[in-house]
Amino acid sequence: MQLRYQFRVYPTPGQQIKLARAFGCARVVFNDGLGLRQQAHEQGLPYVSDAELSRQIITQAKKTEARAWLGEVSAVVLQQALADLNTAYRNFFASVTGKRKGRKVAPPRFRSRKDNRQAIRFTKNSRFKVLDNGRLRLPKIGDLDVRWSRSLPSDPSSVAIIRDAAGRYFASFVVQSTDEALPPVESEVGIDLGLTHFAVLSDGAKVAAPKFLRRAARKLKRLQQALSRKQRGSQNRKKAIVKVARAHARVADTRRDWQHKLSTTIIRENQAVYVEDLCVTGLGRTRLAKSVHDAGWAGFTSMLEYKAARYGRTFGRVDRFFPSTRMCSDCARINDKMALNVRSWDCPCGSHHDRDVNAAKNVKAAGQADFNDRGAQVRPGLVPAPRGEAVTHPDAAYSTRSVEGSPSFRAERMSKVGGA
């Protein structure tokens, strides 16, 4: 399994200038390649191949006066920028033709120097190296100071240098990691995600929603107001933008750290984990959009999925249209729709349900039926009929008032035909 290990790096002022130059060259190469292909499409010319694009945009462009400064950065950075463009085009074509499932992919767009995120990538061909003293040596940039929080499991195949909106630099390594199967356990769990409680487990445990964005709303409001007062294009406005970006980055980092700890705990304690496939995109268009995005359900479920694959656990998604909330987990009766303020309800079978716990139990049962080899059922098994319910005994005589297709109905019909 390929994993990414990301670490904070602290380039010197001179290295920051070199990185900015590399960001700009990669952006220019990407935009030149995109413009050339768009121009060929508008003129009705054939699609420019990857090799021809590299020859015109990089090899020949370096020989011109207008693009001679492309030789100041590593050639691998420029080649990887074109590789990103080619991947974007392939994803777009696969989405248009229907080969790529999911949401439609838009065609690639031009990159801007004002984008919040700038990144370049070095592969093994560039001969980057992690030195014995812990520094990261990059061609034509120098040795970067890396703050290692853990060791890499194997030699990295590539490294991306990222600069975010808050002005922080990161080194993201791609490494090959072997699966580390955890000791098997007996417990399985279904998870119902929500807003009041971030996660409700089928065993009755409830995890309160931290609401990191709501807790930081007062500080964000103050910083945003200060930003709105700054004159456009001024240096003070740029400083205020960085302050707002740092506040948002702190919220995102705190949320991600909390989700990592919770997902790791759930994966370690359960052999199988089942969640409901929520349409986060659709919920993000409702009046609860801010709370939905603050919860971060998509990021949490993706953590559960890749950690289950890495540690030998089972992970399954239950269909979003499965009536987990309205179905009784005891008798499988599906009740009418309930408002969001109804947190508990009684089933005609006599069971009293907590709304979220009942949904988590149904998600677990549905997940076991779809993903388990033991033949677990979504609906409960057969139970003895109540004494007052109408039954048919083997030794009872057939009634003359039977439905069509029964032996008594056919015998009665044949006697009438013979008598006529």
| Chain segment 197-218, per-residue pLDDT in tens | 999 998 888 999 999 999 999 9
Helix axes 235-269, 297-310, angle to 10 degrees: 50
What's the CA gap between 139 and 132, in Å, rounded? 17
A 10 A CB-CB count for 25 gives 22
pLDDT at 371: 53
Q: How many CA atoms lie within 13 A of 260 on its CB side?
A: 6
Centroid of chain to Cα 34 = 28
Q: Say whether pTM exceeds 0.85.
A: no
- pLDDT tens readout for residues 232-268: 989 999 999 999 999 999 999 999 999 999 999 999 9
The continuous run of DSSP H or E covering 193 comes out as: strand 188-193
DSSP-derived secondary structure letter, 126: G
Least confident stretch, 33-47, 113-127, 334-348:
334-348
Which strands, in side-by-side order, build the sheet including 272-276?
A: 206-208, 197-201, 188-193, 272-276, 314-318
* 227 touches 241 (CB < 8 A): yes
Q: What percent of the chain has pLDDT over 90?
A: 62
Please state, rounded to an integer, the average pLDDT across all residues of the chain: 86
Indicate the SS3 state at residue 115: coil
pLDDT in tens, 267-290: 999 999 999 888 888 888 888 889
Q: How far apart are the first and last CA of the chain?
A: 80
Contacts of residue 227, Cβ cutoff 8 Å, sequence gap at least 6: 237, 240, 241, 243, 244
For residues 70-104, b (16+ Cβ closer than 10 Å) or e, as one string? Answer: beebbbbbbbbbbbbbbebbebbeebeeeeeeeee
The whole-angstrom separation of Cα 254 and Cα 312 is: 27
The Cβ of residue 18 has, within 10 Å, a number of other Cβ atoms equal to 17
Q: How far is CA 125 from CA 27, 121, 157, 212, 267, in A?
A: 20, 11, 10, 42, 37
Positions marked catalytic: 192, 276, 356
State the pLDDT at residue 370: 64
Give 10's contacts (C-beta < 8 A, 6+ positions apart). 144, 145, 147, 169
- The larger pLDDT score, comparing residue 89 to residue 285, is at 89
Q: Does residue 138 surpass a pLDDT of 70?
A: yes
CA-closest candidate to residue 324, choices 354, 359, 352: 359
* Whole-number CA gyration radius for the chain: 31
Secondary structure letter of residue 125 according to DSSP: G
